[in-house]
């Protein structure tokens, strides 16, 4: 069983903590990253890593992947997410849309641990599309 550890220490900024992780430190709280936004980041990041790996193995020449996430929280406490929408944009020439569809399915059905933790308590919708070259490459 893999074990992950993080620690939080109250920082000098009011209602904010310094979180120490295996990668480094970040501020969490009122004067830092908001915990509920980090949940969205974790979900999109997990899916993004999966998609990069899967599409690479499928020999797709991906130039960029953008993932936009919108979370809708209930008004009452605890203010949990009730709905989350992810929009995945995969950029590259000659990208097979079926490969992207399969990669998204593999991520949500098998590999994305964050999705697996959230799926029974949050309505999550994932849309995806394949686009040509990124704007920076078209210039």
23-54 pLDDT per residue, tens: 999 999 999 999 999 999 999 999 999 999 99
CATH number of the domain within which 41 lies: 3.30.300.20
CA 57 to chain centre: 20
Please indicate, yes or no, whether residues 112 and 73 belong to a single structural domain of this protein. yes
Total structural domains in the chain?
2
pLDDT > 70 fraction of the chain, expressed in percent and rounded: 95
Residue 58, domain extent: 35-138
Position 135 pLDDT exceeds 80: no
Q: Comparing C-alpha atoms, which of 99, 87, 88 is closest to residue 65?
A: 88
What are the pLDDT digits (tens) for 94-106?
A: 999 999 999 999 9
């Amino acid at each position: 069983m893999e074990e992950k550890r993080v620690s939080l220490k109250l920082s000098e900024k009011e209602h904010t903590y310094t979180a120490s992780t295996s990668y480094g430190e970040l501020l969490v709280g009122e004067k830092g990253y908001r915990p509920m936004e980090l949940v969205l980041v974790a979900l999109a990041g997990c899916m993004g890593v999966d998609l990069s790996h899967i599409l690479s193995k499928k020999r797709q020449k991906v130039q960029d992947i953008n993932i936009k996430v919108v979370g809708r929280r209930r008004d009452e406490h605890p203010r949990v997410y009730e709905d989350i929408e992810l929009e995945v944009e995969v950029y590259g020439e000659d990208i097979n849309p079926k490969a992207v569809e399969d990669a998204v399915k593999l991520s949500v059905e098998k590999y994305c641990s964050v999705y697996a933790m959230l799926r029974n308590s949050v309505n999550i919708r994932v849309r995806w599309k394949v686009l040509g070259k990124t704007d920076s490459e078209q210039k």
